Amino acid sequence: MNVKVNNFARAGLTILLASLAPLAWAAADAALITALQGKVMRAGASAPLEAFVRLQTGDALALDKDTRLQITYFETGRQETWTGAGKLSIGSAESQANEGLVPAVKQVPMVIVKQLARTPAIDSQGRAGVIRLRAIATPEAIAKVDANYQQLRANADKSDLNPELYLLAGMFELRQMERVEQALTELTAARPADPEVKLLASLYRRAARDAAATVPAAPK
């Protein structure tokens, strides 16, 4: 009897630890690369970083002279745009430049930041991001995402992907996979030569396939 109880307890503990592990790693993420042109290397990495990679506190980045790097911090909503060559250290709420670079800083609304944190990105170690889906998507919740997106898009620059990142993450969380695909199709049609759009579409379509394999589709 005791053996059975102990085995059951060990199994329960294993499941609990497995469920908490992704949360612990996600909590260490400080920021997301939301736009990147040029070459950025992370200390210790063998390949350049890409857009939509998660960054952690303490990451050291080296930027080439033709680089334009945009980072959004999850905790504060601080968006930094760095241009030119230099070195950065990622903090918990903002970056520190080691060679005199000065960023253009913008405050991103937390309604966007909340969804940016749900983007199916990969982190700076190459691990897939955690995606959480709501069990029930109400018409009111879907309408709210749509309305917020329209307002964000109306106030954003044409080249700014933040409104689309909000829309995609919101619809994905609500399990509206047809809407996700529709948004990706429209975005890639509008910006067919944009490598960041192509990468974003690839990440979301992979995430949709993974979700379909583990989660029943949302009722229509």
Both tokens of residue 126? Answer: 């190459």
What is the structure's pLDDT at 21?
37
Confidence of residue 38 (pLDDT cuts 50, 70, 90): very high
* Amino acid 172: pLDDT: 94
CA–CA distance, 31 with 70 (Å, rounded to integer): 10
- The residue with greater pLDDT, 124 or 65, is 65
Cα–Cα distance, 186 to 141 (Å, whole number): 22
Say what the pLDDT of residue 173 is.
92
- Distance between CA atoms of residues 179 and 174, nearest Å: 10
Sorted by where each begins, the domain ranges of the chain are 30-108, 131-214
More confident residue, 16 or 72: 72
| 140 pLDDT more than 50 | yes
State the pLDDT at residue 72: 98
Residue 78 pairs in a beta bridge with 107
Q: Is 139 exposed, middle or buried, given 0-12, 13-18 or 19+ CB atoms closer than 10 A?
A: exposed
100: exposed, middle or buried (C-beta count within 10 Å: 0-12, 13-18, 19+)? Answer: exposed
